[in-house]
Structure 1
Amino acid sequence: MIAVIGAAGTIGSKVLEFLEAWDAAAAPRDFRLQGDEHVDARDPASLARALAGASVCVNCADYRLNLEVMEGALRAGCHYIDLGGLFHMTRRQLGLHDRFLEDGRTAILGMGSAPGKTNLLASAAIRRLGAAPSSLEIWAATRDPAAAGHPLPITYSAQTLLDELRMRPVVLHEGELVEVEPLSGAAKRELPELDEVEAIYTLHSELATLPAAFPSLREASFRLSLSPGLIDKLLALGDELPEPYVQSA
């Protein structure tokens, strides 16, 4: 059985749909659900009940809960996968490597879209290069037709996106990981199907793993491009954060 933590959320519900379409035995778990499907990821006893009998835990909850859910997976004796940890959380999670290894369990961090696809694409590009890479730039940009006219076209948690914008990004410079100012690194680039986009540095998990995987790197960064005007709207939000819009297929 595959337990999906955060199954009632924007991304978790999609993960659950995919698993069900593949006829996988999936069990939704979320603080918004009731009965046996309810879980409080901050409560070890609640997590234990939610993960009882699971062979795999897919963590789609808020990244701030990643360590708690990982610990729960270890106690339950199941494998673990999540969608990302905004650099600092990912580095803390990597500290559990030896414990998962000792228990014969697999933990895969950051297997969403970004991080996730971005890591795989970067690795594929480096393999095609056929030489040790010295520089790597990751640009993440999308313009979904389903978002046309939407006042806040965000594709995942508004709180996570705000953290990306407000926290100090980390880049690799001259072989060292360094923090830079939030909203810095503005640059423009022509991208396929999107024409010219403008992007800025944001805090992301790719920089927590790719420099270690490819130690020849001297420069590396992650830039995010959002719809025009969206950054100002997000930074002006109060305590009431909106839900992401429904993306197109």
Structure 2
Amino acid sequence: MIGLIGASGAVGRHTAAALTKAGVGPLRLGARRPSAIPSGPWPEGSETVEVDALDPASLARFSAGCTLLVNCAGPSYLLKDTVVRAGLAAGADVVDVLGDDPVHESLTRSGAVGPDRCVVLSAGTVPGLAGLIPLWLAGDDQTEGPVHRMTGYAGGLEHATESVAADIVLSLDTGGAGGERFGRPLAAWRHGRSVDRVLRVADGAEAPYFPHRVALHPLLTAEVERLAARMDLAEADWYTVFPGTQVRELFTALPTLPMDTAEQRDAVARRIRRAAEVDAAGSDPYYRMVFSLSGQDWARTCVVHSDNSYQLSGAVAALAVLDVLAGRIGRGLHYAAEAMDPHATVAALRANGDAEFATHRHTVALPDPGEMDTAVEDGEL
């Protein structure tokens, strides 16, 4: 039995659908309101069950008898390692769509992941797929020379779920390594280490392969740092992209908003959801990631396009489940971006139609944000 917590949510329902399409089951689909779980069709023997991810007794009942537990519930920074520990206590392997650095650090300190168990964290889009695509784009053939620099962009026009909005608010104080906030604004990777205040926020900028002018917020996350170290990069920049005016104005104001009480934080989360809805109204929703790699005399870019990030996260989570079940990810505690095979993952996402991937060669590296008109494109690979 494969247990899936958060099956009624935007990511959970896509994960369940992807697992069903892959022939994995039976599934135990859990949510606080089972009636909100889609009716399927699901694999034979599947069931829908009420579960509260914040209630240890409820989690224990749900996890009993599961060989693998998938966590798609949120807010991730509120749940922390609660779901993972419930799965481990039931003797199950665990795939967590989020479960970023705080969960990894907690599980490492406690030694909760035994030698016979597998836990995969950050098995979504960002973090997760964002740490795999640059490795795929770099490839195994180094005849052009090593990669010196990476620039990444991620964002789009889509609704913000209740959990996502809550996690955004919580990430201002938690979610990063060592008890820090999620990511370091304006920081970048330079000469083998992170450096503060290297980049700047750009409003009304042109980002490569995004259809309209956007706001670009530099954010160096622990995943980008791990990736830069793994690829031995001299430089790495990461930008969160905000195409909508309402969201970008709200995010600019976030540090000044009162968030001392739960009521104030809830109010800000509601504002985030409303801003996203206003921005998306009357527009075709989309989610896009752009990765540019460059060496001494070469450069190439990958553009990933999906209808929304939730569907893409569900697809990545399902592939992580398949990897665990097939033994392609060994025992122990892992980040998805360090455990999943980049080439196999991209090939599966392409084959399943989960996202469109386009790669381009350039005569020179893409320019910095705001100078896109000087880019030279040589065509699609």
Q: What residue in structure 1 maps to residue 267 of structure 2?
A: 238
User: Structure 1: any 5+ residue segments left out of the alignment?
Assistant: 148-152
What are the superposed Cα offsets for residues 187-231 of structure 1, whole Å, 9 maximum, x if unpaired? 7454236365442124645236424533x2343343111222122
Amino acid at match of 1:192: Y
2:208 pairs, out of 186, 191, 196, with: 191
Which residue identity does 1:154 align to in structure 2?
A: A
Aligned to 1:217: 233
Q: Distance in 2 between matches of 1:168 and 1:66?
A: 13
Match of 2:83 in 1: 69
Work out whether residues 165 and 269 of structure 2, in 8 Å CA contact, stay in contact via their aligned partners in 1: no
Q: Report the 3-state secondary structure (helix = DSSP H, G, I; strand = E; otherwise coil) of the residue aligned with 1:107.
A: strand
Question: Shift of residue 10 of structure 1?
Answer: 1.8
Residue 54 of structure 1 pairs with residue 66 of structure 2: yes
Structure 2 SS opposite 1:37? strand
Aligned ranges for residues 108-123 of structure 1 at < 5 Å? 108-123=120-135
* Preserved CA contact (<8 Å) 1:91 1:208: no
Question: Separation in 2 of the partners of 1:96 and 1:115?
Answer: 22
Contact 1:39 1:47 in 2 (8 A): yes
Instruction: Name the structure 2 match of 1:140.
Output: 154
Query: Residues 118 and 46 from structure 1, CA distance in 2 versus in 1: closer, same or farther, beyond 3 angstroms?
Result: same
Provide the rounded CA distance (Å) in 2 between the counterparts of 1:220 and 1:160. 25
CA 8–16 in structure 1, closer or farther in 2 if over 3 Å, else same: same
Deviations 1:22-75 (A, max 9, x none): 443211122334897222323333221111111111111121224111111211
CA distance in 2, matches of 1:220, 1:203: 9
Question: TM-score of the superposition, structure 2-length normalised?
Answer: 0.52
Secondary structure of the residue that 1:191 maps to in structure 2?
coil
Whether the 8 Å contact between 2:81 and 2:103 is mirrored in structure 1 is: no
Counterpart Cα distance in 1 of 2:191 and 2:85: 35
Between the two proteins, the alignment pairs up a number of residues equal to 237
Residue type of the alignment partner of 2:108: G
- Give the CA deviation at 1:140: 0.6
Q: Alpha carbons of 1:13 and 1:220: their partners in 2 closer, same or farther (altered >3 Å)?
A: same
Residues in 1 aligned to 2:27 and 2:131: alpha-carbon distance in whole angstroms: 26
Which amino acid in structure 2 is aligned with residue 186 of structure 1? A
Task: State the 1:112 CA deviation.
Answer: 1.0
CA separation of 1:95 and 1:53: change in aligned 2, threshold 3 A: same
Question: Could you tell me how far 1:82 is from its partner in structure 2?
Answer: 1.6
Residue 67 of structure 2 aligns with an amino acid whose one-letter code is S
2: CA distance between counterparts of 1:177 and 1:97?
28
- In the alignment, what sits opposite 2:168? 161
Partner-residue secondary structure (3-state), 2:166? helix
Describe the SS at the equivalent of 2:54: coil
Structure 1: distance between partners of 2:120 and 2:110: 10
Give the fraction of aligned pairs with identical amino acids, expressed as a percent.
24
Please report the RMSD computed on the Cα atoms of aligned residues, expressed in angstroms.
3.7
Q: CA deviation at 1:238?
A: 2.2
Does residue 94 of structure 2 align to residue 80 of structure 1?
A: yes
Q: Any conservation in 1 of the 2:215–2:243 contact (CA below 8 Å)? A: no
Does 1 or 2 have the higher relative contact order (CA < 8 Å, sep 6+)? 2
> Which structure's CA Rg is the greater one?
2
The residue type paired with residue 26 of structure 1 is L
User: 2:105 maps to what in 1?
Assistant: 92
User: TM-score, normalization: structure 1?
Assistant: 0.74
Q: Give the AA of the match of 1:238.
A: A
Distance in 1 between residues matched to 2:194 and 2:104, nearest whole Å:
13
